[in-house]
């Protein structure tokens, strides 16, 4: 898969449900290197990424951007190289006709500080020491985690998803 003619088009790939009827993510991509495109409910392209383990990346994206994860198209690459993956990604973005925005929300841990209520922000800002601030951040992270888990349950997600407890103290949510 090195020549330009061998690049698969997004249009040629099948839409796969992000969450199957059993509430599971597409496990056939576990441990597989590939490139993938994520679509919302209306099959509008939201994100294109590549990964050494497509399944693990799809799990992370689900908790970070749940409302945009309804469909996925995946191309597994048997002999991967970053150049090949970047070339396919560029071709898919061009095929889509517009650049994708807000890449950080897809690729970075959730920053809970941005999701604080006024009361939580006041508690955090009025904390007298680092330990109290850390506890405040952890409480916000727990609240946001509970909200995300409720949304996942509403979508019938049955996959075992656990957040990294050590990151909560830093005000970050990311899967373990």
Q: Which domains does the chain have, with CATH numbers?
A: 4-102 (3.40.1440), 110-173 (no CATH)
Report helix angle 54-64 to 130-154, nearest 10: 100
Do residues 66 and 57 touch, judged by C-beta distance below 8 A?
no
User: Residues in the chain, how many?
Assistant: 176
Please state, as a whole number, how many other Cβ atoms lie within 10 Å of the Cβ of residue 31. 10
- The pLDDT of 79-89, averaged and rounded, is 90
Q: Is 61 helix (H, G, I), strand (E, B) or coil?
A: helix
Under the banding of pLDDT at 50, 70 and 90, the label for residue 5 is very low
- pLDDT at residue 99 is higher than 80: no
Q: How crowded is residue 123: how many other Cβ atoms within 10 Å of its Cβ?
A: 18
> CA 56 to CA 54: how far, in whole Å?
6
Q: CA 62 to CA 55: how far, in whole Å?
A: 11
**pLDDT (0 to 100) of residue 78:** 87
In the chain, pLDDT over 90 holds for what percent of residues?
85
More confident residue, 80 or 39: 39
CA distances from 145 to 41, 49, 156, 173 (A): 23, 24, 16, 7
Nearby residues of 31 by Cβ (< 8 Å), 6 or more positions away: 53, 55
């Amino acid at each position: 898969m090195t020549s330009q003619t061998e690049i698969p088009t997004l249009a040629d790939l099948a839409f796969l449900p992000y969450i199957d009827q059993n509430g599971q993510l597409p496990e056939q991509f576990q441990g597989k290197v590939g490139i993938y495109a994520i679509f919302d409910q209306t099959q509008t392209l939201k994100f294109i990424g590549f990964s050494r383990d497509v399944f693990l990346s799809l799990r992370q994206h689900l908790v970070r951007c749940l409302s945009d994860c309804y469909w996925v198209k995946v191309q597994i690459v048997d002999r991967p190289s970053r150049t090949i993956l970047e070339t396919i990604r560029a071709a898919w973005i061009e095929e889509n006709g517009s650049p994708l925005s807000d890449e950080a929300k897809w690729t970075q841990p959730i920053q809970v500080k941005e999701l604080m209520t006024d009361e939580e922000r006041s508690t955090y800002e009025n904390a007298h020491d680092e330990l109290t601030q850390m506890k405040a951040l952890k409480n916000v992270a727990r609240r946001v985690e509970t909200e995300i888990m409720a949304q996942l349950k509403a979508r019938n997600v049955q996959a075992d998803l656990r957040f990294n407890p050590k990151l909560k103290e830093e005000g970050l949510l990311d899967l373990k």
